[in-house]
Amino acid sequence: MIGGGLWRRARALSATGRVGLAVVLFWIVIALVGPWIAPYPKGAFVAREVFAGARRDFWLGTDYLGRDVLSRLLDGARFTVLLAAAAAAIACTIGTGLALTAAVAPRWADELLARTMDTLISIPSKILALVLVAVFGSSLVLLTLIVAFTYIPGNFRIARALAVNLARLDYVEVARARGEGRLHLALAEIFPNMVRPLLADIGLRFVFIVLLLSGLSFLGLGLQPPDADLGSLVRENVTGLGEGALAIVVPSVAIASLTVSVNLLIDAATRGRGK
C-alpha cells in the first residue's frame, strides 16, 4: 500500500515534476551503485591520450591524466549526492529541533536562539564554510559537519516561523491547558503539521549544499585526493575547457542536472499540494 501511494503521488506530478523525479532517482541509484559498475578503477591510468573524446573503450572520454571519465564520474557522484544528503539531514534535524525548542521554551530562550541564528545567517555561507574549512580541515566527516553547520541557521528561521505560528493555534493551547509537557507539545502537536513544508526546505538545502560543496572543491578546499566529488572533477580538468573536453563538460552537466531536477521536483510537489 505504501508503494501504491508513492506511485499515485508520482503520477500526480506535472510533466516537469516527473522529469525531475526521474533524474533525481537516477542520481540516487548512481550514488549507491556507481563505484561497483564503473568499468575501470577510479585512479587507473587507462589511456595514453589525455582529454580524448568518447569512444568504445571510454564512453565519456579521458581526463587530463588519461583516466576514464565515466569511472571518475560514477565514483564522484557518490560523494556529492551522499555527502550533500547527509549534511542536509543534519542541518535540518538540528535546525528544526532548535526551532521547536524556541516555539515552546520561555521567551528569553526563544530570543537567545533567534538572535544567535540571525548573527550566523548574516555571514555569507561560502565565507563561513571557507573559514571553518581553513580552521578545521576538510576530511570527509569534517566537511559534512562544516557544511551542515553552515545551513542550520537558514533551516532554523523557516522552521521557527512555522513552529511559532502553530504554537499559537487553539489545539496547541488546549493541549497546554490540559497539562501536556513541552516535549509533547513540540513533537506531537506542532511538528506533525510542519513536515510537508520542511520536506521542501530539505530539498532546497540539498541543492544549496551541492553547490557549496562543488564550489569548495573547485577552490581546492573540498574533498582531497584520492577522493573526488563532481566539483573536484571540474577543477582538475579545467585546462581542457578551451577545447571543450568531455572531462570538464560531463561533471558540469551532472551538477546542473542534479540541482535543476531537485528544484523541478520540489516545485511540482509544492504546486500539487497547493491545488
Determine the pLDDT at residue 69: 93
Determine the pLDDT at residue 77: 94
pLDDT at 192 over 50: yes
Q: Which CATH class is domain 2-274?
A: mainly alpha
Determine the pLDDT at residue 242: 80
- What are the tens digits of pLDDT across the range 210-246? 999 999 998 888 888 888 899 999 999 998 888 878 9
Instruction: End-to-end CA distance of the chain: give it in Å, rounded.
Output: 24
Query: In the structure, what pLDDT confidence band is assigned to residue 269 with cuts at 50, 70 and 90?
Result: confident
Query: In the structure, what pLDDT confidence band is assigned to residue 274 with cuts at 50, 70 and 90?
Result: very low
Question: Does residue 158 contact residue 205 with C-beta atoms inside 8 Å?
Answer: no
* Interval 184-206 mean pLDDT: 90
Radius of gyration of the chain (CA): 22
Determine the pLDDT at residue 5: 60
Determine the pLDDT at residue 4: 56
Distance of CA 247 to CAs 48, 109, 225, Å?
A: 15, 51, 17
Ranges of each domain in the chain: 2-274
Question: Does residue 10 contact residue 18 with C-beta atoms inside 8 Å?
Answer: yes
Report the alpha-carbon distance of residue 55 to residue 115 in Å, rounded.
57
Report the alpha-carbon distance of residue 262 to residue 113 in Å, rounded.
30
- Per the listing, cell 574533498 goes with 223
- What are the tens digits of pLDDT across the range 29-45? 999 998 899 999 888 88
What single string gives the DSSP state of each residue in 139-185?
Answer: -HHHHHHHHHHHHHHHHHHHHHHHHHHHHTSHHHHHHHHTT--HHHI
- pTM, rounded to two decimals: 0.89
C-alpha cell at 257: 542536472
Please list the alpha-helical segments (H only) found in the chain.
Answer: 2-12, 15-37, 69-104, 107-121, 125-136, 140-167, 170-177, 182-184, 195-218, 230-236, 246-274
Query: In the structure, what pLDDT confidence band is assigned to residue 137 with cuts at 50, 70 and 90?
Result: confident
Determine the pLDDT at residue 272: 56
Report the alpha-carbon distance of residue 63 to residue 59 in Å, rounded.
12
- Of 22-31, 133-142, 205-214, the range with the lowest mean pLDDT is 133-142
- What are the tens digits of pLDDT across the range 49-70? 888 888 888 899 999 889 999 9
